[in-house]
Structures are given as structure tokens and as C-alpha cells.
Chain A
Amino acid sequence: MEVFLQQCVNAISLGGIYALLALGLAVVFSIVRLINFAHGEVMTIAGYAIWLALLSSVPVVAAIILGITVAMLASVAMERIAFRAMRGASVTSLLITSFAVSEIVKVLFQNGISARPVPIVLPAWMSGSINMGFLTISVMSLISIIVVAVSLVALSVILTRTTLGVAMRAAAEDFPVVRLVGIKANHVVALAFAISGALAGVAAVLWVAQRGSVDPLMGAAPVLKAFIATVLGGLGSLSGAVLGGFVVGAVEVFLQGYLPESVAPYREAISLSIIIGLLVLRPDGLWPAQNVNRS
């Protein structure tokens, strides 16, 4: 029972990171139909920003805020430089553009800093654990869960209480009509990328804190999982992305915890098979977008 609860905490904490990343992908996809494979690089950029800040003896909290801000700006800059020129292009063209952006950023870090991981040292209390009677929770897991919860609440406030947030939800449904009422398309798209980048930045902070290092390929693996999560949840659906993130995280953690050692090497294959199975049962995803009434 204790082990099970422990695994639940781990599943929520890992799933939460996937949920943030998946949400970032879904927010952008729902509006500009771009599957942004450079999303992982936004995470990497945030990681290096934190590394650089700590190296320059910036206090930890400030370094974290800086990392998230840089991720947000990087995401908006990617849209300005690469994706805006491609607006209205086919999904395939957009996808290839995002691969190009992703490769360019990776190569810049490999050649500009190092292909090998650089260490990030966070305060000792972050790597400790809290004993709650029969349950021992690592501080990092607890922080992850709280941060994810706060981020999700903040996002839902933006989407329901601010004009541009409501416009974003409307744009996911019918972008031309949002422009018809006078709301500037570029503002809505920029907000989507800013939110997406900030979420990637938050995910990067949690990811880096758990692993203690940054490398040029850091974002690739978690964003791939997040992409699986968005498809599982229903491409373009925000609630689906969050649900998908938690499901992917849970499948990963529980397989890691309970799979016998002899089949452990097949963990990824088994987890992807489970997800394929879920998609066979629900081809539109677990929580599909309400109305994708565009061609």
C-alpha cells in the first residue's frame, strides 16, 4: 500500500510535467494548427538560461523566474521569426518548419556550449524528502505537484477571465470570426506562444531540478511524451492534453515500479502499446476538442 501511494505521488508529479508540456503543444495547435516539435528546445533554452544565471551567482528564485521568462520570450520569438511567415501553410509545412527550428537550436547549443550535459546545482533542501507518517515524499515531487496545480489554475483564469484568453478559446473554434470582430490575429497567436513557452519553462525548471543537469537534447524526450499525451487526449483539446499527460506519466511510473525485471527493457514498448490500445478504443482521444468545425 505504501509503495503504491508512493508510486501515485511519482505518477502525479511526472504526469504533471507531461501535462504542462502537452498543454503548451495543445494551446498552439488549437489555434495555428502547428505541431511544434521545437517545443522541447524551448525547454532546453530555459534550462541553459537557469544554468547561466546560477553560474553568474544569481539567486535560485531569480534564476527560475528568469528561466521561465526566457522560455516565454523564446517561444514568442520562434513564432515571430519562423512560424509567422508560414501562417496558413499546410500542417506538413508547419511541422517541417518546426523540425528545422528544433535542429537549429540544438546545433547552436551543441557547438556554442557543449554536447555534453552541464551540471545545475540546486539548494540541498530541494533534493530532500518529507516524512508524512507512513509516506515519504520527496520535496521535488511535492513542489512539482503544487507548481503544476498552480499553473493549471493560472491558465484557466487567463482563458476564462481575460479578453485575450477568451479570444484564444474562440480562435481555437473559428479564427477568421475572431478577426472579424476586430481582435488582432497576431495578438492572439503571440499570447498562445507566450503561454506555451511559459508552461515549457515551468516544466523545464521541474525537469532540471529532478535531473541536476542540462544538455542540448534535454527537451526531446519529455516533449515526445507530451506529444503522445496530446494525441491520446485528443489533438487540440486542452483538457485532453492535461488528462493525456497524467495518463502517460502514470503508465510510465507504474510500469517502472511493477514490471518484473525480465521484461523491464520492453517498458517503453509496453507503455506505447497501452496507449495505442487506448487510441483504438477512443480514436478521437480521451477528451476530444468540442468542435473542430474547420476543414
Chain B
Amino acid sequence: MLSVEGLVVRYGPIEAVRGIDFTVNRGEVFALLGANGAGKSSTLAAIAGLVKPFAGRITYDGKPVSGLPPETLSRAGIGLVPEGRRIFASLTVAENLWLGGAAHGSTAERQQLQKEMEERFPILGERARQKAGLLSGGEQQMLAIARALMARPKLLLLDEPSLGLAPQMVEKVFDLIAAMRKEGLTILLVEQNVPMSLQIADRGIVLANGHIVVSGTGVELLHNSDVTNAYLAA
């Protein structure tokens, strides 16, 4: 579904991603792991079109998509839940959801989907008229994911969805990821919670300094001493 070949991302003279290759298959959860600054978020940003790759090829659904603007990629079915959630704090919860689907489908479809989201995440229905900035961290994360789902993505990129959340909220987020996979969504997951990510991931890679150091299935990575070392060293 998604293939990344020789991806290089640069910010001026700084090279954040130094030529990585990986493929995400349809319907799987693919984990992108690594310490801070390893190049995980930059990889997601390049796939979603937030930064232009310096070199390399990104293919989505068989078509080259490197360097396309984020609005085009969103319309093609790539959704990103950005790091730090980045909900629109001064807008209401309902407005956040509405905007999530604004560029996708008819008004009736959007209203239907918004109702589904408010049923799936009851707190978002209860707080529909409240400013999103007043939600708790976990609720904001739910809103950020629901906002991305409003665009009916086929490939969902999740950037550190459990970061800074209370333990029971973390569990809720991972339950949600499992549920979304069951519904047929392909998920590319960036996480610092390695054990939980690898329990849920079909496959994954570990990045360090912009390179891939290990790759394998979730279970393989979970029992790989290099992975533990990479994190202990960080």
C-alpha cells in the first residue's frame, strides 16, 4: 500500500532521515520505533506532505506521491494524527470534527460520520459545543484521531498517540488502534511505548540517527536484544 525507498529528509544542513526503505502492506499495523531525534516524525511528515523529501521515492497505492502537498495526499486517503495532537483549541469539538471531513464526501455523509464519531467517542458528543482546548489530554487525543477519521483515510499515520497520557488512557488508545485495524484501516504507528506498540504491530522497523537498524515482525522485534539496547542507550 505504501512503499518508501531511499527517503532522505533534510532541514537545511541537518539530515533527519538518511535513506530509509520500508513497505507497509494493506490492513497491517506497522510500527516505526526509535529514540528521540531518530527521524520517525520526519518520516511521517514526508509521507503526509508536510515536508518535501530531499531524495527518495514514496509510492502510495501504486502511484508516486513524494513532494505532493498535504491537501492532495489527504484527499488520496492518507491521514495524519500529528504529534502533540494539534487540535484547533479555539474551535468547538464539533467544529474540529466538521473540518476533519470538510474536504471529503457530501454534507449528508459528513453529518452521518460525525454522528458515528460522537457515538464511538461519547465524550466528544457530550462536549460538542465546548472549545476543544478545554478537553483533557486524553480527550484531545481522541478528538485528534476522530478528526483524522472524518476524512475516511485508507492509511492512517499516528505520531506518538500515547505520549503524555495517563495509563488507562494509553490503554484506550491502543485498544482503538486494534479496533481500527480490525475495520480494515492500514496504520503506520510512531510510538515511544515500545512494548505496547510491538504487541499490536504486525511488523516494524527501528530507526537510529536517520537509519534503519533493525526490522522484522512485531514478535521478532519484541524479543530482539538490539531493540532493547537501542532504547536503553537512548
Contacts and interface: CB of A to CB of B under 8 A. Distances in A.
B136 to A, nearest CB: 17
Given A177-B82, A291-B133, A183 B102 contact: yes
Given A181-B74, A182-B75, A163 B86 contact: no
A167, A182, A185, most chain B CB atoms within 10 A: A182
Interface string B94-121: 0110111111100000000000000000
Contacts of A180: 48, 50, 70-71, 74, 79-80, 82
B82 A181 contact: no
A185 to B, nearest CB: 7
Nearest to A164: B102
B29 interface: no
Contacts of B100: 181
B155 interface: no
B122 interface: no
Given A174-B86, A290-B89, A182 B95 contact: no
A178 interface: yes
B88 interface: yes
Contacts, number: 74
Contacts of B104: 182
Interface in A174-195: 174, 176-185
Nearest to A160: B95
Nearest to A171: B88
A84 interface: no
A290 B91 CA distance: 11
Contacts of A182: 71, 74-75, 102-104, 151
A178 B99 contact: yes
Contacts of B69: 179, 185
A270 to B, nearest CB: 36
A138 to B, nearest CB: 39
B90 interface: yes
A170 interface: yes
Interface residues of A, number: 19
A173 B95 CA distance: 13
B203 interface: no
A169 interface: yes
A181 B80 CA distance: 8
A184 B71 contact: yes
A166 interface: yes
Given A181-B74, A182-B74, A176 B89 contact: no
A181 B151 contact: yes
Contacts of B147: 181
Nearest to B84: A293
Interface in B149-193: 150-151
B80 A174 contact: no
B71 A173 contact: no
Contacts of B75: 182
Contact of B102 (A167, A169, A174, A177): A167
A163 B88 contact: no
Interface of B: 48-50, 69-71, 74-75, 79-80, 82, 86, 88-91, 95-96, 98-104, 133, 147-148, 150-151
Interface of A: 163, 166-167, 169-170, 173-174, 176-185, 290-291
